[in-house]
Amino acid sequence: QTLTQIKQRGKLIVGTEPTFPPFEFVDEKNQVVGFDIDIAMELAKRLGVKLEIVSLPFDSLIPALQQGKIDLAIAGMTITKERAKVVDFSKPYFEANQAIVVRKDSKFEPKKLEDLVGQKVAVQLGTTGDLVVSDITGINVVRFQKFTDAFLELQNGRVDAVVLDEAPAKAYVKKFSKFSISSIVDTGETYGIAVKKGNKELLNFVNQTLDIMKGSGQYNKLLQKWFE
């Protein structure tokens, strides 16, 4: 979609997977909110159109972009070589590492990914967390579409750990006092906003908006709002 087509349509369609606080999650009013959603709102505002948020499983976001069902994927999505072959990414807008989350009462304190060998570990299907644990032989990986379900399994003792990005891990641990972060795995990831491959016009617009938001202090305000 060109910017003109998006303006004619009157709405910007953004895909996300909303079990990833504080980037995107469902609040008490059943609204999808978060850091990424505020960025999406700013993009729509600058285009002079409405924002439509489409919630999809994380591993469906890239196919949805390719099929033109969504204009952008804003989902705390790590820029990886594999993904960059099939979609285009904006400039990096956030840095991330993986975290290992366990039940406090379990006395299981993995300090590195290798400590998860022989254990049952929940991840979100298709995420970088999925990739790093699946790379190690001997880990029993259980894949979920929603992080909320992965944490339910951890709570019920059906898995021994959940591996996910650090900021959402902190958000879940804050919300559920039963969990704790046993270690951070330095993966050195950065998040980008994804557009359909070749959509330069939309990509430039996204990059310009990120620059403006950073320059004006609006970006820092959002960090303060969502990462206190």
Give the containing element (helix H, strand E) for 19.
strand 19-20
Asked whether position 58 contacts ligand ARG by CB under 6 A, the answer is yes
CA distance 19 to 8: 31
At residue 71, the 3 state secondary structure works out as coil
Binding piece for ligand ARG, criterion CB under 6 A, among 27-35, 47-55, 123-131, 172-180 = 123-131
Among 56, 75, 171, 213, binds ligand ARG (CB under 6 A): 75
Of the pair 17, 88, the CB lying nearest ligand ARG is at 17
SS3 assignment, position 160: coil
Q: Is the peptide bond before 22 cis (omega within 30 degrees of 0)?
A: yes
- Residues 79-98 contacting ligand ARG, CB under 6 A: 96
Residues 191, 74, 128, 104, CA torsion sign: positive
Footprint on residues 24-53 left by ligand ARG (CB under 6 A): 24
Site for ligand ARG in 163-182 (CB under 6 A): 165
* Contact between residue 122 and residue 154 where contact means Cβ atoms under 8 Å apart: yes
Select the residue interacting with ligand ARG from 60, 127, 199, 209 (CB under 6 A). Answer: 127
List residues near ligand ARG by CB under 6 A: 16-17, 19-20, 24, 58, 75-78, 96, 124, 127-128, 165
